[in-house]
């Protein structure tokens, strides 16, 4: 089993942390992982993306031209990564910010109102966690419990007060993606 994931959005949406969390969860569960961040020169509002590979065997190359999954948090990311996802792959779309529908019929799509879910549970800044829940609902290469245990271990101390809310957001994202047939 090898799953390649691209997570993309604007800086400040938690793109890099979401990717790190997946990589840590894979490592914490004795899987092989790579995590490669990429971001524009702007601190907030610029583009950011990362590539994560989680595998039960050593990863041959960390560069991915055609990912199995793309988690897109804004419209420019959808436009960039929709054509690149492998046929049969998955697009997780933040439908709170992206009104455009995916045009491909050869991929699974999970439309998740990530900002709305996170806002309802405390802060839109947790929206990245909703998309991770949705991802694992459709591609369970890790369990929610594994992800949440990793969140316990890796959420920065300055954000510890948001731990319970982040877990709720993950759960709600999972439920939103699981409720709609693939």
Q: Tell me which CATH code domain 2-179 carries.
A: 3.40.920.10
Rounded to whole angstroms, the Cα distance separating 44 from 104 reads 30
Which residues share a beta bridge with 47? 10
Instruction: For 4-45, write each residue's pLDDT tens digit.
Output: 999 999 877 889 999 999 999 999 999 999 999 987 665 556
pTM metric for this prediction: 0.92
Instruction: For 134-179, write each residue's pLDDT tens digit.
Output: 999 999 999 999 999 999 998 788 878 888 899 999 999 999 998 7
Which residues share a beta bridge with 39? 48
**Mind spelling out the 3-state secondary structure of 125-151?**
HHHHHHHHHHHHHHCCCCCHHHHHHHH
């Amino acid at each position: 089993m090898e799953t390649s994931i691209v997570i993309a959005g604007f800086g400040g949406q938690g793109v890099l942390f979401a990717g790190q969390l997946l990589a840590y969860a894979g490592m914490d569960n004795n899987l092989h992982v790579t995590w490669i961040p990429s971001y524009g020169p702007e601190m907030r509002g610029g583009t950011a993306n990362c590539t994560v590979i989680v595998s039960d065997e050593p990863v041959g190359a960390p560069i991915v031209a055609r990912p199995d999954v793309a988690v897109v948090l804004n419209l420019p990311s959808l436009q960039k990564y929709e054509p690149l996802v492998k046929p049969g792959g998955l697009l997780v779309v933040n439908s709170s910010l992206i009104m455009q529908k995916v045009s491909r019929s050869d991929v699974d799509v999970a439309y998740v109102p990530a900002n709305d879910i996170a806002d309802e549970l405390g802060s839109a800044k947790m929206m990245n966690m909703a998309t991770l829940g949705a991802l694992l609902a459709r591609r369970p290469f890790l369990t929610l419990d594994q992800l949440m245990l990793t969140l316990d271990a890796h959420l920065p101390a300055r954000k510890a007060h948001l731990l319970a809310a982040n877990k709720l957001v993950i759960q709600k994202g999972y439920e939103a993606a699981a409720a709609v047939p693939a």
